[in-house]
Amino acid sequence: MEAPRETVDGGRLLVAISSELVTIYRDFVGKGPERCKTYWAGKDMLVVLLTGGFSVAEQTLFAAGRGAAVKQARMALHETLAERMKGTVEELTGRKVIAFLSAIHQEPDLSAELFVLEPQVTADSRPRAADDPRASR
């Protein structure tokens, strides 16, 4: 059994997510992207942009007008790897992924992974009783 990872935050968290997703692509697709960058989109969403990830075979299919076949195969692969990717993000962020979406684009060669995280519950975000003076009216 693997030891739990040390929790990281800020920019180190985003770099760790990018690095782990590149590893997943490399290990299970056979080719990793040339670049990968992870961004926060608000407090509860992560967007991972990957460029340069299509294989020579996929590029050949695109050039032959068979882009739909590439997209179909990539979406099947993303569905297969979804639990692994979500688990990685959950482990690194310490938050549950409640939705995961993927998209690919041919020109430019770009993929996007979108992770929607369960909202964090903080003292300020907990529901308040109606008689609590801090409750909004």
What is the secondary structure of 89-118 as a DSSP string? HHHHHSS-EEEEEEEEETTTTEEEEEEEEP
Q: What is the pLDDT of residues 83-117, one digit of tens each?
A: 999 999 999 999 999 999 999 888 888 999 999 99
Indicate the pTM of the whole model.
Answer: 0.79
Which residue range(s) make up the domain with 39?
Answer: 10-19+26-117
- 52 Cα distance to chain centroid: 17
87 is a domain residue: yes
4 is a domain residue: no
1 is a domain residue: no
Domains: count for the chain: 1
Q: Which of 3-12, 29-38, 81-90, 126-135 has the highest mean pLDDT?
A: 81-90
3 is a domain residue: no
Residue 68: pLDDT over 90: yes
Residues 6+ apart with CB under 8 A from 70: 54, 58, 61, 62, 104, 106
128 is a domain residue: no
Burial class (CB in 10 A: 0-12, 13-18, 19+), 113: buried
127 is a domain residue: no
90 is a domain residue: yes
